[in-house]
Amino acid sequence: MPRKNFLQDFSLVSAPGSFQRIHHVELGEEDSTIVFTYTFPLSLGPHSIEFNVAILDVSGYPDDHTYFAFSEGDNIPQAIAPALESIPVMFKGCALDVFLEGFRDCLDQAVLPQDIDADSLPTDDFDSNGEPDDMDWDQTSGPDLFNSTDLKRLRVDLRAVKEAGFKVGYLGDQTGALIVSISCRVAKLGISEDAMQMWDILPSQFLVLLLHYPQGYAGLDRILSQPDASPDLVRVYIGFCGTYKPTMVSVPDASHANVSEQIFSPGASTSETQSRMKSSFITDPLQGLFKERFLDLIRDRLEYGFSWTGAELFYNDHQGKPLGPKKLLHSKYRCAEQWSKSTPGFVKADELSQQQNTVELALPLVAMQYTVRRFVKCTEFCLNCHCKIDAGFEALKPYVCSNPLCLYQYMQLGMGPKLEWEIVSQPYVVDMLVSFTYVRAMTRNLTELPVGLGLKVPSAIDSNYNCPAQFATFDARQMILGVNGSHELAVGQWIVIKNTMGASLEQKSASLHCTVLGTDGCKYMSLSAPVPVGFVQGDDSWKHTWRDVTFIPYNVDFDDLNLQLKMEAINTLLDTLPDVHAMKEYITNGASPEQNTPLATWTHRISPSALYVLRWIVASNRSCIVHDDDPKHQVTGMQGYMQFRLAQGSPDKEKRFVQAIACASSKKHPTLFAWHGSPLHNWHNIVRQGLNFETVLHGRSYGNGVYMASDFLTSYGYTRVSSNATGWGQSQLKITGAISLNEVVNAPKTFLCSSPFFVVSQLDWIQPRYLFLMCESPRNQWKASTVPTQTYTQDPQHPVLGPNRDAIHIPISALGTRNSKCQETTQVLKEAGNPASGHAKKKRKLSGKGIPKGATVIVLDDDKVADTDSVATLAEDLRLLESDTEDEEMKDLGSCEASKRTYAHDDLSKTDFRPGTLHSESLQLLEPPSYASSTATQSLQRHLRETLKVQDRTPLHELGWYVDTTLINTVYQWIVELHSFDPGLPLAQDLKKYKLASVVLELRFPPNFPLTPPFVRVIRPRFLPFTQNGGGHVTIGGAMCMELLTSSGWLPTTTMESVLLQVRMALCSTDPRPARLQYGMDYSFGGAVEDFQRACLRHGWLVPEDFPRLRS
């Protein structure tokens, strides 16, 4: 018996000491899996890796079975990944002992240098029981090796985290076992609402990083100095929480009794719903990434000077391999971080790029910055191997790379959103996705396929396939199959039954799919209730007429088929699935209303192969699609069409779209709407890759771009081009066509073509909003919706027309994130300017550790998102941040806060200036310059901190200048407003005349600062030039004409407070003439630079040597 043979062989290979470098061979959780530990030779790579091996078709052991190996801990070095991929083919049909020995040799060969033979390796230093010698581990495994906490180091590190803009807390004993909690509000990360909905997170939640120090707090230098084999000094957990610090019961290790006794925090929140930490399909892989490679990435960055991106590439290329000096010089590892302009500044902050001394580096800050970076960029990386995905398009949901091994583990380990949750919450979306896949496979256009999953399909899909069917007699009433001869089918195996005699023309392709429930020897088998495929609905004549039949088992490897047969197999498997309502009913009929039943338990109705294909279809969808039948969110004039809200692109695409609107479109009507139609078989790819113009389908007479039209009927004509392929038979929607409604930046003059089509080549200018389906099913002929109470005002020159050529009404909710953010911003700005509202914008402290970007919407959202029960830092956490020697300093800072609160409520009557009302969209905020130096950066950080301290403790109307921290994207560029001028000055009178409250300045700092001065210019308003009797020391291009700001007058000891004071005095000067305003456009940077150089030449002042670099 095959099963018996397998167990006998396993008992032999599991004996200790059977193989070198392979230990702890055990049966897995399922009978057909084994687990074991592989130890690297010559201390190459990590000390050891645990592997899982699934034995497919164990019923065919030892002659016809397949091995699939993968790492339990996901820490597979890149060098051995190809070896793992070759396992199924190389060891197919091999006995267990042959497999294990060959497996070890393959891995040895992959990681060893070319000049070392695997056969020459020394034997293990293991005793007769196959266990490591205890003597080798005693030096590092003792629990008392590090049992005290450096409280001062802990406080310094946590203050650095707090100054960088994160929330800090702790659980446990400051002088013993400790958990450090670092968190950040999700709403501050710049992620679109559509992405948050797809990731199943809320903007009010906190992204939480927990660092567990079981032996007491340890600095980064001490952790990095420990050998790899030593016990963990720090453990990492990542998740989401309703408060900034979770409860102890939700910490993973707290479930163990010894840890619960060791760690206790009476100040932790007791709210079970708000304070419980939850994991997700995004944070779980991120936690694994930390466990296997985070410290190695830090070591590589410190040793070679890589960025995070460079260190990740280096790790992926060289894990488990010896390094040569030339490898380190490869230019691809010397790459800078790539960020969108819309990314908040604190998300882009990188402590490791500014500080290389491990004694000074704060591990909690470095770890949180890396957590935020990988979380925000999660769609760019594989969830399984963590490598960069080069997909050529942007995704809204993280997925796996094209490596079949990653797809296999993704499905086997249940990564990603749960299929059952998708079916229960959005059954029509699942129906639509399956229908799109079915049609694409039917038209033979499905090229991306679920390979590497070990799918078994029936050979009956191809009449020429060399796998003859077996003849049998079929008792349909008893569901008994009598085989003419013998068979080797096992219980649980799926088969296909076809009639051989008397079949009608309609039944020539009909078949019954069943699973084997039991066997009686080698002749008879009992079957499950069949799944009819290819019958006319309601036709059950097979129950009476089918007797002489043939049957074919599901025994063909899907991966071995050619492309056309693979697509046929996909259609065959999808034909066996029940409809989405039947699946939803099965899932929700669990033991309790809150417990869903996994579809994998419906073994008599859904084959494993069909279930894997269904999971792959749903998981590979990268768009956010939501069926919404609420009339408030529906487009009018679309009777008979099913409406879905649609969002595509990366998580920050919405913000890039908003920036494109601000830069390129009409202010009165910033966007227009247009239709995009495409044949039904194309939508499988569109919902995964977004709208693009990589493939030519209908010619490109008007250029390369996305083709859209304002008239529905124009785009509708392109939805009917597909062949007459039949759709998915079990579909409840019966889709016949699809068309999308897209919001586009209103700049037709810059389109490649604006008539008769809109042809747009800038993909950031297009944001899909709705997907409309044309369906046959009568239940889907929806009634006309009422006009929403709030509709989007369309450009009258480009109205979007519906199927009846009437203008349609688009609900304001179609704008999604952009609309809600704009409304919130407007409201918050009003409240910030009204002291009586009690919602004045809160102060944010900054330092060089991380500076928030001036994305006004994101920053203001922090005060608008249900913050009342979690934003306040607990007293115990505040006490930890305050040291005995800094009590007076903390009191002074508290006085600064009180001072600011005082003028925010009481002193605004003394000035017409309102802080925080300058919009970042109206400014050109810079990225960190390429010339940035560590000396200049540290000096600027210090100057900024000192300047903000002065601003905090001085009444607003007395100070006369204001630095808005939310408008600082890099310390090399400050935006400053000068205000509260003497009412008797002509400048103040002109400001009041033009209804302005401030003069907006830009300060740009050169690479040699503070040895060379900053460049100061006016952005707005425009001043009357000197040639027209103007004054104020402002050149015609907007630069400040002051010797102080040249090499002739600058001193490195000059403070920025002094600079701002003297610039303000220059503007207020009436000698020889007072400054007057000339209302007009903003000054340009280029004009200011040229005028500054001319002024220096005219006055004989020295232009700073590094001044030309300010243009870079």
pLDDT score of 434 more than 90:
yes
Sequence letter at residue 504: S
Mean pLDDT, rounded, of the chain: 78
Query: Average pLDDT for residues 1082-1107, to the nearest whole number?
Result: 90
| The two three-digit tokens of residue 232, written as one number | 């963990």
pLDDT score of 356 more than 50:
yes
Query: Average pLDDT for residues 863-872, to the nearest whole number?
Result: 42
**Residue 207: C-alpha distances to residues 181, 241, 650 (Å):** 10, 7, 19
pLDDT score of 845 more than 50:
no
Sheet holding 48-56, edge to edge: 22-27, 33-39, 48-56, 66-71
Separation between Cα atoms, residue 761 and residue 188, nearest integer Å: 31
The pLDDT of residue 609 is 94
Confidence at 148, pLDDT banded by 50, 70, 90: very low
The pLDDT of residue 198 is 79
Domain boundaries, the chain: 2-136, 456-590+599-619, 624-803, 924-1111
The pLDDT of residue 694 is 65
The pLDDT of residue 316 is 86
The pLDDT of residue 833 is 38
Superfamily of domain 924-1111: Ubiquitin Conjugating Enzyme (3.10.110.10)
The pLDDT of residue 660 is 84
The pLDDT of residue 2 is 72
Query: Average pLDDT for residues 615-642, to the nearest whole number?
Result: 85
The pLDDT of residue 122 is 44
Preceding peptide of 1072 cis, ω within 30°: yes
Residue pair 580/430 in contact (Cβ under 8 Å)? The answer is yes
Confidence at 175, pLDDT banded by 50, 70, 90: low
The pLDDT of residue 460 is 56
| The two three-digit tokens of residue 343, written as one number | 């990314």
Q: Which of 449-458, 633-642, 849-858, 968-977 has the lowest mean pLDDT?
A: 849-858
Q: Which of 44-53, 254-263, 727-736 has the lowest mean pLDDT?
A: 254-263
- How do residues 936-951 score in pLDDT, each as one tens digit? 887 898 899 899 989 9
pLDDT score of 690 more than 90:
no
Query: Average pLDDT for residues 368-373, to the nearest whole number?
Result: 95
Domains 2-136 and 924-1111 alike in fold: yes
- How do residues 1058-1073 score in pLDDT, each as one tens digit? 999 999 999 999 888 8
Query: Average pLDDT for residues 205-218, to the nearest whole number?
Result: 90
pLDDT score of 847 more than 50:
no
Confidence at 136, pLDDT banded by 50, 70, 90: very low
The pLDDT of residue 779 is 52
Separation between Cα atoms, residue 971 and residue 933, nearest integer Å: 12
Within 10 angstroms of residue 804's Cβ, the number of other Cβ atoms is: 12
Closest CA to 458 of 568, 543, 600, 542: 568
Cα dihedral 213, 214, 215, 219, rounded to 10, equals -10
Residue carrying structure tokens 């601000």: 662
pTM (two decimals):
0.58
**Number of residues assigned to the chain:** 1112
pLDDT score of 904 more than 70:
no
Name the CATH architecture for the domain at 624-803. Alpha-Beta Complex (3.90)
Name the CATH architecture for the domain at 2-136. Roll (3.10)
The pLDDT of residue 535 is 86
Confidence at 676, pLDDT banded by 50, 70, 90: very high
Query: Average pLDDT for residues 707-718, to the nearest whole number?
Result: 92
pLDDT score of 830 more than 70:
no
Question: What are the residues whose beta carbons fall under 8 Å from the beta carbon of 884, sequence distance 6 or more?
Answer: none
The pLDDT of residue 392 is 63
Confidence at 880, pLDDT banded by 50, 70, 90: low
How much of the chain exceeds pLDDT 70, in percent?
77
Query: Average pLDDT for residues 479-489, to the nearest whole number?
Result: 84
Backbone angles phi and psi of 736, in degrees to 5: -115, -15
Query: Average pLDDT for residues 772-779, to the nearest whole number?
Result: 78
Query: Average pLDDT for residues 772-785, to the nearest whole number?
Result: 67
Using CB atoms within 10 Å of the CB of residue 756, give its burial: 0 to 12 exposed, 13 to 18 middle, 19+ buried: exposed
The pLDDT of residue 745 is 92
Within 10 angstroms of residue 792's Cβ, the number of other Cβ atoms is: 20
Q: Which of 282-291, 353-362, 897-906 has the lowest mean pLDDT?
A: 897-906
The pLDDT of residue 599 is 92
The pLDDT of residue 563 is 92
pLDDT score of 744 more than 90:
yes
- Residue 532: beta bridge partners? 512
| The two three-digit tokens of residue 580, written as one number | 């989405």
Confidence at 145, pLDDT banded by 50, 70, 90: very low
Confidence at 891, pLDDT banded by 50, 70, 90: very low
The pLDDT of residue 878 is 65
The pLDDT of residue 639 is 86
pLDDT score of 696 more than 90:
no
Confidence at 143, pLDDT banded by 50, 70, 90: very low
Element (H, E) at 772: strand 766-775
Q: Which of 193-202, 269-278, 300-309, 417-426 has the lowest mean pLDDT?
A: 269-278
In the chain, what is the straight-line distance between the N-terminal and C-terminal CA atoms, in Å?
75
Confidence at 981, pLDDT banded by 50, 70, 90: very high
Confidence at 887, pLDDT banded by 50, 70, 90: very low
